Amino acid sequence: LTYNNGEKDGPYKSYYENGQLNEELTYNNGEKDGPYKSYYENGQLNEELTYNNGKLDRQVKYYYYNGQLQQEGTYKNGQPDGPVKFYYDNGQLREEGTYNNGKQDGPLKSYHENGQLMGEGTYKDDKLDGPVKWYYDNGQLREEGTYNNGKRDGLWKFYHQFYSIHNNGQLKEERTYKNDKYIDSKFY
């Protein structure tokens, strides 16, 4: 590593005490610039990022200690911008959504560890907005309702999980919300 006018400049590598590579990157006038990689002490890749003048830019990837991909997405000027995916440590997709200038914006889907859909809705300006649905890990509908600017609004329906003849996946409760405040319930 060299210094230019007192600022870090050029390629840089750091190592763990056991000699294993910890991180590798390039500095430009004291700012991280270009590809960046960090590693766990066991040698597995931890982070794979790109910096532009000290800010995250372009594709980013984070990994679990076991080497499985944990998160991937796109950054622009240090903010998430574009599609983002999160994974369980077994490699199964956990969540997928979209960001716009650092705020969640657009459809969001989350999944149970077994791959079944857990929930779906839409974000607008970093807040849930519109219809949402949540599911049990067997795929059955658990609840559904509507968000308005990040707050529960209107009729919400809750369903029994199908286990036996008594809990047959039928509607068990309806709740009404206004501006995220509970108003009323009806049980079945």
- Whether 132 and 97 map to the same domain: the answer is no
Residues 62 and 154 in one domain: no
> Are 17 and 60 part of one and the same domain?
yes
pTM above 0.75, yes or no: yes
Query: Domain of 68: which CATH number?
Result: 2.20.110
What does the angle CA 115 – CA 121 – CA 124 come to, to the nearest 5 degrees?
A: 135
Q: What is the pLDDT of residues 93-107, one digit of tens each?
A: 999 999 999 999 999
In the chain, how many domains are there? 2
Decide if 169 is inside a domain: yes
Three-class SS of 26-90: EEECCEECEEEEEECCCCCEEEEEEEECCEECEEEEEECCCCCEEEEEEEECCEEEEEEEEECCC
Three-state secondary structure readout of 154-188? EEEEEECCCCCCCCCCCEEEEEEEECCEEEEEEEC
Whether the CB-CB separation of 129 and 123 falls below 8 Å is answered with yes
**pLDDT surpassing 70 at residue 168:** no
* Three-state SS sequence of 75-132: EECCEEEEEEEEECCCCCEEEEEEEECCEECEEEEEECCCCCEEEEEEEECCEECEEE
Query: Per-residue pLDDT tens for 51-75?
Result: 999 999 999 999 999 999 999 999 9
Amino acid 164: pLDDT: 47
**Mean pLDDT of the region 167-171:** 66
Q: Is the pLDDT of residue 163 over 70?
A: no
Residue 6: give the domain boundaries.
Answer: 1-104
Same domain for 136 and 68, yes or no, is no
